[in-house]
Structure formats: C-alpha cells, structure tokens
Amino acid sequence: MTGKTISEKLLSEKSGDDVRAGDYVEAAVDVMMTHDVTGPLTFEVFEDVTGDDPELVDPDNTVITIDHHAPADGVKAANNHNIVREFADEYGAQQYDVGDGICHQVLVEEGFVSPGDLVIGADSHSTTFGGVGGFGTGVGSTDLGTTLATGELWFRVPETLRFEVEGDLPDGVYAKDLILKFIGDVGFDGCTYKTAEYGGSAVEALPIHERLVLSNMAIEMGGKAGIVAPDERTVDFLEAQTGERPAIPAYTQPDDDADYEAVHTYQAESLSPQVSTPSNPENAVPVDEVVGTEIDQLFVGTCTNGRYEDIRIVADVIEGERLAPGTRMVVVPASRSVYKQMMDTGVMETFVDAGAIVQSAGCGSCFGTHQGVLGDGDVCLATANRNFPGREGSMESEVYLASPATVGVSALYGEITDPREVELNRYDDYVLEGVGA
Ligand SMILES: CC(C)[C@H](C(=O)O)[C@@H](O)C(=O)O
Ligand code: SF4
C-alpha cells in the first residue's frame, strides 16, 4: 500500500475514518466563513435548517466579513451589510466591517486558521488557507448555512496533483509567476476537484505571503484545495501574528511515497515572469511574448496579491517616478492592517506622489462592480486572479494578470514590460497588526 497525501491524512483525521482519494467522508469543520455577498443566503439556509432553535455550533470560529461591496456601492449592498451586522450580533459570530479587509486575508491575519484546520468559506478563493497548512475550500451558501448549525460537512476525498519546484527562483520570478505557469500547464480545469499540493525546495523557501498566492489561485485550475505542508516558517509567522505558536500536526505532512495522481516538476532557474492574457488565467505566457502591450489601468490588490509585501514591491519600483502618461493605477490593500503598514512606511505617499489612487481595504474592482471598473476597450494589467470577459467591468475590456513586480514596472512605461528591466526586491513576511474583531 502506498503512502498518503495531505488531503487523505487530513480528511481521515477530521472524519475519524481511514480514507483515500475517492472515498466520501463526513468531516468536522474547524472554521467557517462567509461575506456580504454570500452571507444573506447562507443565513436564510441556517435559519431554515435550525427552525425554532437557531444556534451557531461554533460562533468563535464563524467569521463574516463585509468586503466585496465595501464601502457600499448601492442601496442593495448597504442593506446586505446590515443583514450581516444583525446576524453576527444576534448569533455571536465574528464580524469584520467595511475597510477591515478581504475575508481570506482577515482570517489569516487574525489567526483563525492553524495548520491542519479544515476551513470552508462561501467564496471560491477559500483555497487560500492552504498557504498556512489548512485544507481550505469554497462551498455554496446551502452547504455553509447547514454547517454553521452542525459543524460537519461531507467531502469526496480529492485526488492530488503535486507541483514540485526545485532550486532558487531567478530575479523577477515570484509565486504569482509560478502559479500562472502551473495553471497554464494543466489548464483552467486541470485540477478540478483535486488538491494541488505544492512542494520542493523553492516552495519551502517561500515566505508565507507568497505561499498564500499559490494556494489562493489553486481554484483557477479547478482545485478543491491548494496546500503547502506547514513547517517552522508557518508557525513562526502565525506566532508573530497572534502571539500563539500553533502545533504542526503529523497529518499535515504527506508521506514520501504518497499516491499522487501526477507530479509536475519544475527547475526554478528555468522559470520566467508570466502574464495571463485575456480572458482566462490559463492563458499564461512568458512576459516577453506580450511586452509592449499598451495598458490603460493598473490594478494592485485582491486576495491574491494585495498584501503589504506585494504593494511594497510596486512602491519600490515607482518611488520618485510618475505613472506613464495616459495610465491610471488603482491600489486596494487587502486589509486595514496592510493599509496602516502602507501609511507607517511611507508607501502611501509614494503612490499618491506617483499619481496613483489608493482605496480602502476590500475586494475593490476585482470583480467589476466598483472602485475602478473598466470601460469599453480599456486594457488593465492586474495583480488579480481572474480575467474572464467582463470581470473588471465592460465585456469589451481586457485584463492581463501578472505579479506585482510586472505591474509596477509596466506602470512606468504604460505598456507590459519585463520586470527584469529593473532591480527588484523580494520581501520576507511583515508582521501586521490585527484589525480586531
Ligand atoms: C462573490 C463571490 C461569491 C466570488 C467568489 O466566490 O469567488 C468572488 O469573491 C469572486 O472572486 O468572484
Ligand atoms: S479579492 Fe477578488 S477574488 Fe478575492 S474574494 Fe474578493 S472578489 Fe473574490
């Protein structure tokens, strides 16, 4: 019998059964999350299934953010915000309000997720939690509404694709470039209902904010989860964030002879900065194939690359410069603490001086409803995760996806530019102050 993957071990632990890929389990969920878009329907389901006796099974680990339409971009959004506030108040859930940040970032910063946790969120990028060694996955409002009451959910144990990167990443190549390359190689559905397990020496060397990028975008190849086995770096990060040092459970480490569906191996030195062309994240090409593409808007933010370290790389590049004439840049920090860090370190001033717009923390224009939507014919280069038709506004607009470094350097020229044109930094994890529940 071959060994087990992280998913097989973790779901065995959470279900109490000795399971393998393809088995079905009823598993105990550790953390549950929803937000201003998926929350209202989730609450209806919760109240339906609980009838006369509505009670959250674990209010301390039920988190609700107001991040997608924040600040409210219309009356409907404002009313939804009030529904969230009232629900959290009534049932004692952990609620984060306008400007606190994007759900995925808030859960990580606030230490809700520990290595080995099973986390479900009514948002597709809940795979992000694999960056700190959890099994995170997106679910619909019906599943979440029921689990809020029971604490359990069924899963089919996923098969696993292993992505191994060995060696040292070259200058200008970041986790974003790795994940775009992986998605390009397997396709937008190449990991559907499978776990992406990331490893190898280049992945082990990544700070946590970069591992979160790999896990976050697992969903863009269909991934059920995207996990980096937690290690000392993971618990150092979480201890710095929360003051508590979590354990690394044995079931978060894959066996050496784990039974993977496929193993994709890369040599870090051979990788180059990637750009995904419109209108699918799987259209990843080396940056030199699109150099010179003219850009109207640059978007820095999202749950993929809206962390302080990402924003800082862009600021380093544009410091003392102006955006190329005819371009505009929208910066949306992933959380209030990222925003504050930008203020404390002078990064905010850099953006303002360069002619950029910095908005309050949240999802921003990522899904095209406010804070910088694109018009007909507009071309945007974004640190985001999705570039489907109409994603950031008009169906006639186009979005290219890239790393913060590529976006920063391109802002100086008004066209897609190879980030290796300039000297770039690479940051360790910053410790961010919590935003407070
Ligand atoms: C609104 C929400 C359901 C959606 C998601 O789940 O992904 C959003 O976050 C997105 O990125 O499109
Ligand atoms: S930042 Fe974008 S991708 Fe992430 S949760 Fe918000 S809308 Fe979805």
HEC assignment per residue over the chain: CCECCHHHHHHHHHHCCCCCCCCEEEEECCEEEEECCCHHHHHHHHHHHHCCCCCCCCHHHEEEECCCCCCCCCHHHHHHHHHHHHHHHHHCCEEECCCCECHHHHHHHCCCCCCCCEEEECCHHHHHHHHHCCEEEECCHHHHHHHHHHCEEEEECCEEEEEEEECCCCCCCCHHHHHHHHHHHHCCCCCCCEEEEEECHHHHCCCHHHHHHHHHHHHHHCCCEEEECCCHHHHHHHHHHHCCCCCCCHHHCCCCCECCCEEEEEEHHHCCCEEECCCCCCCEEEHHHCCCCECCEEEEEHHHHCCHHHHHHHHHHHCCCCCCCCCEEEEECCEHHHHHHHHHCCHHHHHHHHCCEECCCCCCCCCCCCCCCECCCCEEEECCCCCCCCCCECCCCEEEECCHHHHHHHHHHCECCCHHHCCCCCCCCCCCCCCCC
Distance of CA 100 to the CA centre of its chain: 16
User: Residue 431 above 70 pLDDT?
Assistant: no
Each domain of the chain, given as residue ranges in start order, spans 6-268, 274-420
How far is residue 317's CA from residue 350's CA, in Å, rounded to a whole number? 10
Distances in Å between the alpha carbon of 347 and those of 30, 164, 332, 350?
Answer: 36, 34, 13, 5
Q: Is 385 in the pocket of ligand 2 (CB under 6 A)?
A: yes
| Interatomic CA distance for residues 280 and 299, integer angstroms | 17
On average, the pLDDT of the chain sits at 97
Q: How far apart are CA 252 and CA 115, in angstroms?
A: 7
Q: What is the rounded average pLDDT of the residues 411-418?
A: 98
Q: Does residue 435 surpass a pLDDT of 60?
A: no
- Which residue type is seen at 351? F
- Beta carbon of 65 within 6 Å of any ligand 2 atom: no
Read off φ and ψ for residue 355, nearest 5 degrees.
100, 10
State whether the Cα torsion 195-403-393-292 is positive or negative: negative
- Which ligand is nearest the CA of 123, by number? 1
Yes or no: say if 278 and 398 are a contact pair by the CB < 8 Å rule. yes
Which of the ligands is closest to the CA of residue 217? 2
Residue 90 has, within 13 A of its CA and on its CB side, a CA count of 12
Instruction: Domain 274-420: give its CATH architecture.
Output: 2-Layer Sandwich (3.30)
- Dihedral of CA 291/295/299/300: which sign? positive
Q: Which residue numbers belong to the known binding site?
A: 303, 363, 366
Query: Cβ atoms within 10 A of the Cβ of 434, count?
Result: 15
Same fold, 6-268 and 274-420: yes
Distance CA 224, CA 228 (A): 14
Position 366 confidence tier, pLDDT thresholds 50, 70, 90: very high
The mean pLDDT of 381-407, rounded to a whole number, is 98
- HSE-CB at 80 with a 13 A cutoff on CA atoms is 24
Q: What distance in angstroms lies between residue 385's CA and the mean position of ligand 2's atoms?
A: 8
Rounded to the nearest whole angstrom, what is the distance from the C-alpha of residue 259 to the centroid of ligand 2?
33
Two structure tokens written together for 385? 């995760």
Take atom 4 of ligand 2 and give the residue whose Cα is closest: 303
Percent of the chain topping pLDDT 90: 98
What backbone torsions phi and psi does residue 306 show, to the nearest 5 degrees? -110, 20
The pLDDT, as a whole number, for residue 430 is 79
- Nearest ligand, CA 371: 2
Say yes or no to pLDDT of 177 above 60: yes
Q: Is the pLDDT assigned to residue 434 strictly greater than 60? A: no
Name the band, by pLDDT with cuts 50, 70 and 90, for residue 436. very low
Q: Are 436 and 420 in contact (CB under 8 A)?
A: no
pLDDT of 30 above 90 = yes
Of 367, 383, 387, the residue with max ligand 1 atoms within 8 A of its CB, to mutate for a pocket test, comes to 367
Q: At a CB cut-off of 8 Å and minimum separation 6, what does 372 contact?
A: 297, 299, 330, 357, 359, 364, 365, 392
pLDDT at 84: 98
pLDDT at 380: 98
What pLDDT is recorded for position 66? 98
- Domain 6-268 fold is Aconitase; domain 3 (3.30.499)
Summarised one tens digit per residue, pLDDT across range 243-260 is 999 999 999 999 999 999
What's the mean pLDDT in 65-72? 98
Per-residue pLDDT at 178 exceeds 60: yes
Q: pLDDT at residue 38 above 50?
A: yes
How far does the centroid of ligand 2 lie from the alpha carbon of residue 330, in Å? 15
Report which ligand 1 atom has the smallest distance to the Cα of 363.
9
Average pLDDT (264-285) is 98
Q: Is residue 1 very low, low, confident or very high in pLDDT (cuts 50, 70, 90)?
A: confident
Distance between CA atoms of residues 161 and 323, nearest Å:
41
* Whole-number Cα distances in Å, 368 to 82, 152, 192, 388, 397: 22, 34, 25, 11, 11
Cis preceding-peptide flag for 114 (omega within 30 of 0): no
Place 432 in a pLDDT band, splitting at 50, 70 and 90. low
pLDDT for 134-152, tens place per residue? 999 999 999 999 999 999 9
Q: Is 376 exposed, middle or buried (0-12, 13-18, 19+ CB in 10 A)?
A: exposed
